Structure 1
Amino acid sequence: MYTEHVKAKLKTAFAIYEQKDTPGYVYKREVPSIIRSSGLNPREQLMADMMKEVHSKDIEAEVISFDNLEKILMLAMKERLDEVIRDSKETIMRAFMAFDKQGVGYINAEDFKAILESAGDQFTKEEIRDFMASAVDKETGNIDYEQYARLLADDGRAI
């Protein structure tokens, strides 16, 4: 049932990017945007792996068909589902709440950055920088995690 929902959203997103001069095809460079517009948020490595597969289809062409893109995405969902699906707002909020010891609805950005940096190899410096740039309220220096959880659940990462 979930895969049918994803297929329907993929078809809708595909139609937005579909080439007028070559119906049924989109530019390969648009694939990450199409996948994320379908409500999925694959991890960076999985997206890179899927893009390798996209580029292996008709190597000379700049476009890919809906059928080929759907096959690649469905295979990724079958084999690596935990790396594809976007978490719900509630799930993301619960994760942030674990760091909000006072229960005030926000986390001090510098404190949270220190936690991320001490997490070992889980996050690159670029990922932390990008996170801080999009999550931190410039006026307060805090992370309003309900607002940020909504952004992640609804829109995913920057495309």
Structure 2
Amino acid sequence: MASTKTKRRARNRTQRYTSNVFSMFTEPQINEFKEAFSMIDSTKDGIIDQNDLEEIFRSLGKTPTEEYLRDMLSQARGQINFTMFLTLFGEKMMGCDPEETILNAFQCFDPDGTGVIAEDRLRELMTTMGDRWTHDKVDELFHGAPIANGNFDYKSFTRMIMHGQDEEENPSAGTPGNTPIPNVVSPATAKT
């Protein structure tokens, strides 16, 4: 009987944890996650399984091993429905640097405190220092980023990656939902 109570408590804790995940994201962010979930769920059964993951990787020109796919799926505590999908992203995002840390890293390259860094200068820094990015990766990052008159607005960019952004806030930035953000390495890791 104690075993049944323990199982019930664990199940309730999991349900409470996953139901709170919706409070971690804004409504526009949740809508973007729904869109991404729908794209990955190729069978449209409301569950992301190994076949769905394999299909999305193949559509990206990748051929993952079965072991790799199983490892990805094992990170979830059960089937990956939309709530679990959000939970996994929430856990990953909890490991992100705080907004202030990201801003401070960019400010190292903005001694005048203007809130912008010349696009060419930032590209040079990202491709020659620290974890060197390829020009293609930098292009990917800059696509949809708040860049005007050759200046990268790092304050708006930080706000966009931390909180999401509506198109109306910065129409020149493109559609945030379509902006692929690669693993961003803080400019602070670049050694000057």
TM-score normalised by the shorter chain: which range applies? 0.5 to 0.7
SS of the equivalent of 2:143 reads helix
Contact 2:48–2:79, Cα closer than 8 Å, also in 1 = no
1:112 paired to 2:122:
yes
Say whether 1:158 aligns with 2:180.
Answer: yes
Q: Counterpart amino acid of 1:103?
A: G
Cα distance between partner residues in 2 of 1:118 and 1:111: 11
Runs of at least 4 residues off by over 2 Å:
4-10, 16-22, 26-29, 51-57, 68-71, 83-91, 132-136, 154-159
- Corresponding residue to 2:78 among 53, 67, 77: 67
- What whole-Å deviation, never above 9, does each CA across 1:33-91 have from its counterpart, x for those lacking one? xxxxxxxxxxxxxxx89x9325886xxxxxxx9824459x86xx6xxx6x973333322
**Residue 122 (str. 1) matches residue 140 (str. 2):** no
1:25 aligns with 2:47: yes
What is the alpha-carbon distance in structure 1 between the residues aligned to residue 143 and residue 151 of structure 2?
11
Letter in 2 for 1:67: G
8 Å contact kept, 2:47–2:79: no
Cα distance change of structure 1 residues 7 and 26 upon mapping to structure 2, 3 Å threshold? farther
Task: Give runs of aligned pairs for residues 126-137 of structure 1, distance below 5 A.
Answer: 126-137=136-147
Per-residue deviation, residues 90-110 of structure 1 (Å, max 9, x unmatched):
222111111101111111111
Which has the higher Rg, Structure 1 or Structure 2? 2
Match of 1:52 in 2: 68
Percent of counterpart pairs with the same letter? 18
Q: 1:68 to 1:129 in 2, by over 3 A?
A: same
1:135–1:143 Cα contact (<8 Å) kept? yes
Query: Out of 21, 28, 32, which is 1:8 matched to?
Result: 21
- TM-align CA RMSD: 4.7
Work out the CA distance in 2 between the residues paired with 1:121 and 1:7: 35
What amino acid sits opposite 1:151 in the alignment? M
- Relative to the length of structure 2, the TM-score reads 0.45
Structure 2: gaps (5+ residues): 1-16, 25-29, 57-63, 165-175, 182-192
Is the alpha carbon distance of 1:115 and 1:7 closer, same or farther for their aligned partners in structure 2, counting shifts above 3 Å?
Answer: same
The gaps in structure 1 that reach 5 residues or longer are: 33-47, 58-64
Structure possessing the higher relative contact order (Cα contacts under 8 Å, 6 or more residues apart): 1
